[in-house]
Amino acid sequence: MARRNHFLIVINSMIAALFFTLHCIGCTAAVRGSSNGDGVGQWQLLLDNTEVVAMHMTLTHHNTVIIFDQTEAGPSGHRLRRRYNGTRCTQFRNDLADSSCYVHSVEYGISGNKLRPLRLSTDTWCSSGSFLSNGTLLQTGGHGSGAQGIRYFSPCGGNDNCDWRESRQSLADDRWYASSLLLPEEDRVIVVGGRRVFTYEFIPKQYSNEGSFDFPFLRNTHQRRQGGNNLYPFLHICPDGRLFIFANRDSILFNYKENRVVKHFPRIPGDGSRNYPSSGSSVILPLHYTNGFEKAEVMVCGGAASGAYSAAGDGRFLKGLTSCGRMVITGNRHNWNMENMPGPRLLCDMLLLPTGDVLIINGAKRGAGGWNNARNASLEPYLYHPNKTVGKRFSVLKSTRIPRMYHSSAILLPDGRVLVAGGNPHNRYVFENVAYPTELRLQAFVPDYMGSQHHQFRPTNVTIHYGHNNFYCVRYGGEFNVSFRLASKVSNAVEFSAYAPPFTSHSISMNQRLLRLRCKSLVRGQDGWVGAVLEAPPSPSVAPAGYYLLTVLNGGIPSLSQWIRIL
């Protein structure tokens, strides 16, 4: 990231030239050459073997991706010469089948398209994660030895010296299939739920003997004979700092500071369930400066039919849910507005794209979550346009040939592509004689907006200028400068988004958030350079402290994203 003097040079060149003011507006205008994702997109095969199943996947601010599985899955795709305790892994049968003689986590370098093995010593099966303000991944829970585990990963850009670190502290309760969320208080995380665990707790603890807190909402939404149907609850932060929590079919507004349910929202219409093992997905739609970031709306899509989990155990795979619900969670009027996807879907991922559209990718059409509980892979991604009229919001994108069902993940990359990996409906790595083998291939889905036909509209050379004594971060409510280049094709709409990348696992994208930022001024100078003055989000309730991907959009065509830190 360039320093302030570089920005002054750019500004001086603009002043010397004949410059004109462009429009900083909140909604992308439809202009020639723009794309809101209506094209079919493309698929790229990046690697034949990620070595471990991408049960969990997340992007770091060093442009690497952390991929990891459970540690008790037996042999993975990468065998070790020595266990992490130093003992040798021999060719004897016991060692060949010993999980501790295999890698269960890797770091993927985006630019080099290479993997680096990482060390995991406790079981991360169905765990959760949140990034702290300095970019460190706080990873919590799991199964067995890892059920109360707390782990950290501080990325260092592929340097071999950074690896997983186990905390000496532990969680108060077992957290298997729990969700975590970074709170507005700096570097404080809430962890909610778990299998047959109806509590929540905080990291770090505020006092030495602080434990967990009873949470009747989870007990009331639990369906014992259907695997729970309220595991991995959906968590979103409202702009006022309170939490929206959704489990099974119900949702509440929760004041975690007072341990108090503020309101119960209406039940989402229709039968079936939305949370694991029914495995629908959810996002909080983009927050916008035009309303002061005060309006928040959530979206919940897909899931399994009533009784699908027990039916799958009997070999009957019920058709998944087709419906999506949208509800404004701020203000005093709350109703679910329902609409249908192009087809049934569960075990899917929902990702916010820089355009503000929602990508629904991966998953199955029938069954439920769990070992071999689903059938009929959903190979075609769906694209959802929140600002279009009902009936015109969904489009179907190009199909993949690789099924991505149980234990698969997807994340957005800084270059605009979507990284897709994983898929394993078995409790071991199984590659033959099954309907859906363990999947280790790594793909990228390239949305239409990244196609070469749009390069003439794409902002390039995006550079963030923090200003003097800002220590390479943006302060809440403060101004910062961005410079970039535009070719001769310039739309009448230039926008700026800030995106918090999620921790993804089991169809839930924890901590995912997209904000449209206010542009206070925008000038164009010679050689296509443009300078913009932006206003940072007003508070950590709107944007919890940490690293975000800043993207410039010209008529709906996004730039390559650059990292920005908000504190």
Contact yes or no for 94/87 (Cβ under 8 A): no
- Does pLDDT of 22 surpass 50? no
Residue 27 inside a domain? The answer is no
Residue 567 is given by DSSP the state: -
Residue 347 inside a domain? The answer is yes
Assign residue 484 the CATH number of its domain. 2.60.40.10
**Same domain membership, residue 463 and residue 443:** no
Residue 331 inside a domain? The answer is yes
* Maximum Cα–Cα distance across the chain: 76
Q: Which residues contact 70 (CB under 8 A, 6 or more apart)?
A: 55, 104, 123, 124, 125, 126, 142, 143
As given in the structure block, the two tokens for residue 510 are 């924890």
Distance between alpha carbon 397 and the CA centroid of its chain, in Å? 20
Per-residue confidence (pLDDT) for residue 25, from 0 to 100: 45
- DSSP per residue over 79-136, as a string? B-SB-TTS-B--SSHHHHT-GGGB--EEEEETTTTEEEEE---S--TT-EEEE-TTSP
Number of domain units in the chain: 2
Band (pLDDT 50/70/90 cuts) for residue 491 is low
% helix / strand / coil in the chain, to the nearest 5? 10, 35, 55
As given in the structure block, the two tokens for residue 227 are 């695997």
Average pLDDT over residues 140-160: 91
d(CA 424, CA 372): 9
Dihedral of alpha carbons 167, 170, 171, 175, sign: positive
Residue 433 inside a domain? The answer is yes
Per-residue confidence (pLDDT) for residue 1, from 0 to 100: 42
In the listed set 450, 466, 488, which residue is the last one of a domain according to the structure?
450
Q: Which residues contact 333 (CB under 8 A, 6 or more apart)?
A: none
**Same domain membership, residue 108 and residue 60:** yes
pLDDT digits (tens, 9 = 90+) for 155-182: 997 677 899 999 999 999 999 999 999 9
Burial 402-441, CB ≥16 within 10 A → b, else e: bbbbbbbbbbbbbebbbbbbbbbbbeebeeeeeebbbbbb
Band (pLDDT 50/70/90 cuts) for residue 487 is confident
- Does pLDDT of 30 surpass 70? no
Residue 9 inside a domain? The answer is no
**Same domain membership, residue 492 and residue 443:** no
d(CA 393, CA 357): 9
**Same domain membership, residue 385 and residue 439:** yes
Which residue(s) pair with 131 in the sheet?
137
- Give the residue with greater pLDDT, 18 vs 310: 310
As given in the structure block, the two tokens for residue 62 are 């060093």
Q: Which residues contact 389 (CB under 8 A, 6 or more apart)?
A: none
- Does pLDDT of 92 surpass 80? yes
Hey, what's the torsion of the CAs at 386, 412, 68, 135, to 10 degrees?
-110
**Same domain membership, residue 472 and residue 431:** no
Residue 5 inside a domain? The answer is no
**Same domain membership, residue 505 and residue 383:** no
Backbone φ and ψ of 37, nearest 5°: 95, 15
**Same domain membership, residue 240 and residue 192:** yes
**Same domain membership, residue 535 and residue 403:** no
As given in the structure block, the two tokens for residue 206 are 């505020």
Average pLDDT over residues 286-292: 98
As given in the structure block, the two tokens for residue 322 are 């087709």
Q: Provide the pairing of β-strand 479-485 with 460-465.
A: antiparallel
pLDDT digits (tens, 9 = 90+) for 181-195: 999 998 999 999 999
A 10 A CB-CB count for 34 gives 19
Contact yes or no for 153/139 (Cβ under 8 A): yes
Band (pLDDT 50/70/90 cuts) for residue 36 is very low
Residue 260 inside a domain? The answer is yes
Per-residue confidence (pLDDT) for residue 12, from 0 to 100: 41
Average pLDDT over residues 109-125: 95
In the listed set 397, 418, 450, which residue is the last one of a domain according to the structure?
450
Average pLDDT over residues 541-554: 98
Average pLDDT over residues 296-306: 98
Band (pLDDT 50/70/90 cuts) for residue 351 is very high
**Same domain membership, residue 370 and residue 254:** yes
Average pLDDT over residues 323-349: 98
The pTM (predicted TM-score) of the whole model is 0.93
**Same domain membership, residue 508 and residue 406:** no
% of the chain with per-residue pLDDT over 90: 86
Per-residue confidence (pLDDT) for residue 470, from 0 to 100: 64
Residue pointed to by tokens 């009957």? 316
Dihedral of alpha carbons 467, 8, 561, 20, sign: positive
**Same domain membership, residue 195 and residue 284:** yes
Backbone φ and ψ of 494, nearest 5°: -120, 125
277 preceded by cis ω (within 30°)?
yes
Band (pLDDT 50/70/90 cuts) for residue 84 is confident
Per-residue confidence (pLDDT) for residue 283, from 0 to 100: 98
pLDDT digits (tens, 9 = 90+) for 211-254: 999 999 999 999 999 999 999 999 999 999 999 999 999 999 99
Q: Which domain holds residue 420?
A: 42-450
Assign residue 177 the CATH number of its domain. 2.130.10.80
d(CA 459, CA 549): 15
Per-residue confidence (pLDDT) for residue 186, from 0 to 100: 86
Residue 3 inside a domain? The answer is no
pLDDT digits (tens, 9 = 90+) for 395-439: 999 999 999 999 999 999 999 999 999 999 999 999 999 999 999
d(CA 199, CA 39): 44
Contact yes or no for 557/501 (Cβ under 8 A): no
Band (pLDDT 50/70/90 cuts) for residue 18 is very low
% of the chain with per-residue pLDDT over 70: 91
**Same domain membership, residue 479 and residue 439:** no
In the listed set 450, 471, 500, which residue is the last one of a domain according to the structure?
450
